Structure 1
Amino acid sequence: MAGARLGAWAWDEVVPHLRAAGHGAHPLTLSGLAEKQGLPAGQQTHVQDIVDEVEGKDLREVVLVGHSYAGIPVGQAAQRIGDRLARVVFVDSDVPADGESFLSGWPEGAEEVRASIAGNGGFWPVVPAAYYVGQGLTDEQIARIVDGSTPHPGTTLTEPAVLARPLGDLPATYVKCLLDGPEPGDAVAEVLSTGEDWRLVEMDTGHWPMFSRPRELAQILLGAAGE
């Protein structure tokens, strides 16, 4: 699952590499975004979107992938699919904490985001091309992201996560994109230090590696799947 404002289309350059290696790949657009604009969505809607995709298609040995915002619902869904889960991959993402929202992890700027959502009909608006500069993207890649982005349902950012057990109990790989900051955030660093089966992988690119380094990202996902 791609991060805020994006849909399944964001994985178009990653999916062929996974399928060429013999794996199924099921990019999913979360409710209220891209081709699913207009569907009501809160954070738990997004969690259920993921669970329904896995269970509805009877998927097994699943590697759930969450980029940026999507790490929040993906981490919760991973706990709910039981023995269908093989591993979670968090791609430069936020991670859920029980009772905390996406915005809870913002030491600065959370009130500005809330005000932006309130002033834009309950949606976090899309951002201009300048927002993506310095993240290892070409002008063409930036234009593609901007053109494909849709406003993000605000309640998915403000509703609290619900975890049944510690996140560190999951088998997980965390992908840190170094142009977006050299170190994981505090919440991620803590679970990396305590989770028995958490691994850190670094990519020398920006926050949107599915566009800037799709082949390299695909290889990391294949590694997470045991390739």
Structure 2
Amino acid sequence: MTEFVLVPGAWLGSSVWDEVAAHLRAAGHGTHAVTLAGVADRRGEQPAGQQAHVRDVVEAVEGSGLRDVVLVGHSYSGIPVGQAAGRIGDRLTRVVYVDANVPVAGGSFVTGFPGGGEVAEAVAANGGSWAPPGPEEFDGQGLTPEQTARLLAGATPHPGASLTEPAALARPLEDLPTTYVKCLLDWPEPSAAVAELLTGDTWELVEMDTGHWPMFSQPDELARVLLAAAGHAPGS
């Protein structure tokens, strides 16, 4: 049995994984969805920096004694997930980045994100947190109006410190078995950092014909992708 540790991106809590987790559990595997400090139902736990989020992921694994772990990070959370993956030793089976940022040693979310300067300015103007986007930002992402409404209903401001704190890698990303899931409606090509990692022997690319939030737009297909990444054929 694989233990899937599912980490949401900016603004969102663990409930975004509910439909995906249901598919994984139906296939006989464990699921552990994480809400990061300072977000959603943990919003009061501020200030919360990036390293606090790394600890959240490590604790989700080690605190529950999990083994045969697949760490799954969506969007922003690829940065803490990538760092946590190097810290949990032989508990790790695979990392899966779902349309995610990846950590760069000494770099932050804003330094590696196109338009990161605008994000930093928005955080400063919003009292130190990154406000959720408006509904127009979800246009063209394969979401129904109902899915967009559900996504926004669970979104809260994201702690700005987690976006500016630098990453610290315990192991190089290229040393870890990894699947990168690229959602083609969001942007058809992986970032330059991801493209370089994909040239190595330990990384594989999977494409999904949907937008940036496949846990809402295509949860059943995303679950199949995660099961395949963990080495489980459909129905196994």
Normalising by structure 1, report the TM-score.
Answer: 0.97
How far does the alpha carbon of each residue in 1:35-81 deviate from its partner, in whole angstroms, 9 at most, with x for none? 10110210000000010110010000000000000000000000000
- TM-aligned CA deviation for residue 32 of structure 1: 0.4
Aligned match of 1:14: 20
Q: Specify which of 58, 83, 95 is matched with residue 65 of structure 2.
A: 58
How far does the alpha carbon of each residue in 1:152-176 deviate from its partner, in whole angstroms, 9 at most, with x for none? 0001011100013321100000000
Would you say the 8 A contact 2:131–2:158 is kept in 1? yes
Verify: 1:226 aligned to 2:231, yes or no: yes
Verify: 1:200 aligned to 2:208, yes or no: no
How far does the alpha carbon of each residue in 1:123-151 deviate from its partner, in whole angstroms, 9 at most, with x for none? 00011110001000000000111111000
Aligned match of 1:165: 171
- 5 Å-filtered alignment, 1:142-161, equals 142-161=148-167
Q: Specify which of 37, 49, 53 is matched with residue 42 of structure 1.
A: 49
- 5 Å-filtered alignment, 1:1-227, equals 1-40=7-46, 41-107=48-114, 109-194=115-200, 196-227=201-232
Separation in 2 of the partners of 1:45 and 1:9? 20
- Give the AA of the match of 1:172: T
Residue ranges of structure 1 left out of the alignment (5+ in a row): none
Would you say the 8 A contact 2:180–2:203 is kept in 1? yes
Would you say the 8 A contact 2:12–2:156 is kept in 1? yes
Separation in 1 of the partners of 2:171 and 2:86? 8
- TM-aligned CA deviation for residue 112 of structure 1: 1.6
Separation in 2 of the partners of 1:181 and 1:127? 18
- Please identify runs of 4+ aligned residues in structure 1 that moved more than 3 A: none
Separation in 2 of the partners of 1:79 and 1:26? 19
Would you say the 8 A contact 2:109–2:116 is kept in 1? no
Give secondary structure in 1 for the equivalent of 2:33. coil
Give secondary structure in 1 for the equivalent of 2:179. strand
Q: Percent identity?
A: 64
Separation in 1 of the partners of 2:13 and 2:70? 18
Separation in 1 of the partners of 2:70 and 2:159? 25
Separation in 1 of the partners of 2:168 and 2:119? 22
Give secondary structure in 1 for the equivalent of 2:19. coil
- TM-aligned CA deviation for residue 104 of structure 1: 1.1
Would you say the 8 A contact 2:174–2:197 is kept in 1? yes
Aligned match of 2:3: none
How many residue pairs get aligned? The number is 225
- TM-aligned CA deviation for residue 22 of structure 1: 0.3
